Amino acid sequence: MLRHFQLPILACLFSSLLFADQVTLKNGDRLTGTVVKSDGKTLLLHTDAADDVTLKMDAIQDIKTDAQLHVTLKDGKSAVGPVTITDGKIEIATKSSGTVEAAKDDVTLIRNDAEQASYDKSLHPGLLHGWTGGTTVGFSVARGNSQTENLALAINAVHPTINSKITLYESSIYTRNDLASPSIVANLTTAGLRYDHDLTPKMFAFGAADFMSNALQYLDLRQVYTGGLGYHAIKNDNTILDFLGGVNYTHETYSNGARIPGTGAFVSYGVTNRLVALTLGEELNKKLGKSTVLTQNVYFYPDLQKYRGEYRFTFSFGTVTKINKWFGWQNQFGDIYVSNPPVGAKKNDVLLTTGLNIAFTPQQ
């Protein structure tokens, strides 16, 4: 009876080996699994015993696959079919063009069917799909010698395609100290959206709408509508450094300022400004190791109409460190400067927040 069970088991084991991809290393080790993808420098192999294994292409002697792979070469040509790599040469057994041969070093990309389908879909995702980003929440309460409450919320979402990107953001900080006068220490909200479209691999056009409310500067609402051009100084998997410039229309409304003690008068009275200004900026996004992302940006908005040297300036610096797939720890420092705030309001607001970041991934 045992022999009757052994035969099907052996047949299954033999068939799984027969249809698995084989990778032989230069040191003689042989791995069996499924080739997932390669960027020409490393190869990702999924195995039953060790899950995903990353191998250096320079350490690989031979590869033989039964399933078809999508291969892209340095000259831009591509081919689809089972792959054999041996003696520094790759052969792709295509259905339509026969066997395509090339040097192993000419391979820039390899993807299996699942990876290729996911990549193709990511190039042109629908507006309701492909969003990435996260939400940050920070909250603290102190009682005793101080009575303070602090709440910080932030949302950032990005919808990238092959040559464009939509960015949405919102952040708010509210801090109250019941033992101080005034009791509200911070009450700031910012929000906006931006659309970038690549004109060339280095140049892009952008349009943006930004909104801000800052109670301590008596700013009811500032609306900034911007259009301009940007330049990708660095753009790779680890670092993105952009410079941008454009023209904006700003509409801002300030409410009455603080009251003068003992009188019913205000230190300053409400005013509405409408002006045209420049938008000059620098943006940096850099991966630090496997788990931390650093972001930094600077924007400068000189007034083009009043010619009195009035301007606004913002600076932001932050990091997000992954704890796991969904959670991370975020720290953010910001500086908002206005050269001509209402009388009684300070020119500079410095903000430091920290909290838990909850990430969301693309929906396919």
Q: Tell me the pLDDT tens digit for each residue of 247-281.
A: 999 999 998 877 777 777 777 788 898 999 999 99
* Structural domain containing residue 179: 132-360
Q: How many domains does the chain have?
A: 2
Q: Tell me the pLDDT tens digit for each residue of 17-60.
A: 445 899 999 999 999 999 999 988 999 999 887 788 999 999 99
Q: Look at residue 3 and tell me if it is in a domain.
A: no
Is 347's pLDDT higher than 80? yes
Please report which confidence band the pLDDT of residue 65 belongs to, taking 50, 70 and 90 as the band edges: very high
Q: Which residues contact 346 (CB under 8 A, 6 or more apart)?
A: 216, 217
168, 301, 245, 204 alpha-carbon torsion, rounded to 10°: 0
Asked whether residue 297 falls in the same domain as residue 276, the answer is yes
Which two three-digit tokens encode residue 335? Answer: 């500086």
Asked whether residue 152 falls in the same domain as residue 177, the answer is yes
What does the pLDDT read at residue 157? Answer: 93
Is 170's pLDDT higher than 90? yes
- Based on C-alpha coordinates, what's the Rg of the chain? 29
Nearest alpha-carbon partner for 323 in 296, 353, 290, 285? 290
Cis peptide before 182 (omega within 30 of 0): yes
Asked whether residue 96 falls in the same domain as residue 146, the answer is no
Of the ranges 161-175, 181-195, 236-250, which is most confident? 236-250
221: left (phi over 0), alpha (psi -120 to 50) or beta: beta
Is 5's pLDDT higher than 60? no
Mean pLDDT of all residues in 289-306: 91
Q: What is the pTM of this model?
A: 0.69
Asked whether residue 347 falls in the same domain as residue 220, the answer is yes
Please report which confidence band the pLDDT of residue 144 belongs to, taking 50, 70 and 90 as the band edges: low
Please report which confidence band the pLDDT of residue 361 belongs to, taking 50, 70 and 90 as the band edges: low
What does the pLDDT read at residue 261? Answer: 77
Asked whether residue 278 falls in the same domain as residue 303, the answer is yes
Asked whether residue 47 falls in the same domain as residue 105, the answer is yes
Q: How many CB atoms lie within 10 A of CB 167?
A: 17
Alpha helices in 111-168, H assignment, sequence order: 113-123
Asked whether residue 104 falls in the same domain as residue 183, the answer is no
Last residue of a domain, one of 92, 123, 154: 123
Which two three-digit tokens encode residue 77? Answer: 């040509």
Distance (Å, whole) CA 50 – CA 57: 19
Asked whether residue 152 falls in the same domain as residue 300, the answer is yes
Q: Which residues contact 285 (CB under 8 A, 6 or more apart)?
A: 239, 240, 293, 294, 295
Amino acid at 154: A
What does the pLDDT read at residue 341? Answer: 84
Which two three-digit tokens encode residue 155? Answer: 């949302």
Is 71's pLDDT higher than 80? yes
CATH number where 280 lies: 2.40.128.130
3 state SS of 178: coil
Amino acid at 115: E
Asked whether residue 262 falls in the same domain as residue 329, the answer is yes
